[in-house]
Structure 1
Amino acid sequence: MTSDARFWNKIAAKYAKSPIRDEAAYRYTLERTRSYLKDGDTVAELGCGTGSTAIEFAPAVSRMVATDLSSAMLDVGKERAWDAGASNIEFHCAPAEQIPDGPYDAILAHNLLHLLPNTDEVLQSVAAALRPGGLFISKTPCLGEARGSLKYYLFKIAIPLMQLVGKAPSNVEFTRIADLEAAIQKAGFEIIETGNYPVDVPSRYLVARKRA
C-alpha cells in the first residue's frame, strides 16, 4: 500500500462528512459535465473518492466505472451507491493510471491531477482508454496561478508542514493553467471548453476531445 493510499484511508470517514467548499461552483461544473453525457455512454471517473460525483452522473449514463487508490474511500462510495440505488456503478481500487478495460465515451478526473506525481502517464492512459472522439473532463486546482501573492507563499509553507504531520497527501503540485493545458494537448486531446470554478485560486475546468 502506498503512503497516499494510507493517507486517504485514514481520513476517509472524516472526508465523507466534510461539506463541499464551494457548492455553487461544484453544481455548475456538474451541470456542464452532464451536458456532455448521453444515456448509452460508458464513463469512468478517476480518483472518485467517496463516490459522490459518480452517483450524481450514474442516472445519466449506461455504465459508470469509479476508481480510487483508497479502499476506505471506496467502501463509503459503495454504501452511498447502494443507498442511492445506483446499481450501474462499478468501484475499482486502483491508481489513476490503471484504468479498467474500456473503451470509454468519457473519462472524468475532478480534483485529482494536482495530486499526481505522474500526470503525463495518467493522461496517456486516459487517451488509450477512450474511444476516438471520446471526452476527458477534468477540474484541477491550479495553485501555481497564485505565484507571487501572499496566498501562494502561505501554500508553499503550509503544505509541506501538513505533509510532515500527515495532514496532506505526499504530492501536491503547484500547477499552472498553461502547463496543465499543454500536457492535455500533448496527450492527444483538443480542448473544447474551459472555465475557472471557483476563480480564486482558479480551479480549472477542462473538457477535451480525443483526436481521431
Structure 2
Amino acid sequence: MDAREPLGLRERKKLRTRETIRREAFRLFEANGYPNTTVEQIADAAEVSPRTFFRYFPAKEHVLIDDDLIPPIIEAFRSAPPEMPPLTAYRHAVTSTFAALSPPERENALRGQSMMYSVPEAQGLLYSHYVRLIRLISEALIDRLPHVRDAFERRVLAGVIVGVLLSVSDGTPLPGDPIAAGMEILEARLNLGPL
C-alpha cells in the first residue's frame, strides 16, 4: 500500500486475496443487492472457500470496512510535522494515505465506503469503526498534543475530529474535498491550544 516497508511474498499474497474477496463482494453486491448476496457466492467468485473468507472477514458486512487504511492514517497523523496543528495533521494523514493507494486499492476503498453508508446492516459496524477510530486518534494525540495530559480531554478532541468525518461522510464518503473542507472549517472555528 505504501513504500514504508516492503512486504514479503506471504503478506502480498494475503493482501491480494483480501482485495480479491472485497472486489468480488462489491461486484456481487452491486449486481444482486447486499441482502441477496451470500458469503458462499462471494467465496466462489473470489475462488476461495467460505472458511478462507471468514479468515479475512468475521462477517459479510466487514467486507465494507477497510480496516487496512486505519493504521497508515494513524501513523501518518503521528508522524506529521510537529508544528502542524492536530486537525491539519489529520487532514494531511488522510490525504497522503489515500494518495499512496494503487488504483485498485483506491477503487475498493471508495466502493466499500459508498456501500458502508448505504447498507442498513452495516450501521452497527460503522458505529464500532468510529469508536475504534476515536480511541486510536486519542492515543495519537499523546504525541501531537503533549500538553493535554488528561485522557478524557484527548478522547473529546478525537471525538470532534471523528464528528467531522461522520458529518461529511454520510452520503459523500470520499476522502478528498468534503473531509478536507470539514477539517478546514473546524480548524478555523476551534482553537486546540492549552486550556
Give 1 or 2: higher strand fraction: 1
Give 1 or 2: higher helix fraction: 2
TM over 0.5: no
| Max Rg structure | 2
- TM score, norm. by length of structure 2: 0.29
